[in-house]
Amino acid sequence: MLTPDSVPAMDAWLQSARNGIAAAAGIPADELELSAGDVRTLLDLARVAAHDSGDRTNAPLLCYLLGLAAGRSKAGLEALSDAVTR
């Protein structure tokens, strides 16, 4: 599990990608901010998906599914994460 000190800050590449995604979606970039908790949760889930499934390609696909679900429901990332790790 990642500790708060080991969570990387959003780097320039990711900020640029976020800004491009926001522009394409027609939303303000600040609506796509990732909190330190979100980063920890997503990285932990990506690790679980890659290792437990035996296929690393499941990590980004799982994160995409979480994003779709988070955007279409009122469930928070923690609740969605719990549904994966139960």
- Mean pLDDT per block of 10 residues along the chain (86 residues) reads 53 90 95 89 91 89 92 91 90
Look at residue 44 and tell me if it is in a domain. Answer: yes
Q: Which two tokens stand for residue 17?
A: 């990608």
Look at residue 27 and tell me if it is in a domain. Answer: no
Q: How far apart are CA 22 and CA 1, in angstroms?
A: 30
Could you list the residue range(s) of the whole structural domain that residue 84 is in? Answer: 34-86
Look at residue 29 and tell me if it is in a domain. Answer: no
Number of domains composing the chain: 1
Look at residue 80 and tell me if it is in a domain. Answer: yes
Tell me the pTM: 0.75
| pLDDT reported for residue 25 | 95
Give whole-number Cα distances, 57 to 18, 54, 67, in Å: 21, 9, 16
Look at residue 78 and tell me if it is in a domain. Answer: yes
Q: How far apart are CA 74 and CA 60, in angstroms?
A: 22
Look at residue 50 and tell me if it is in a domain. Answer: yes
Q: How far apart are CA 75 and CA 16, in angstroms?
A: 27
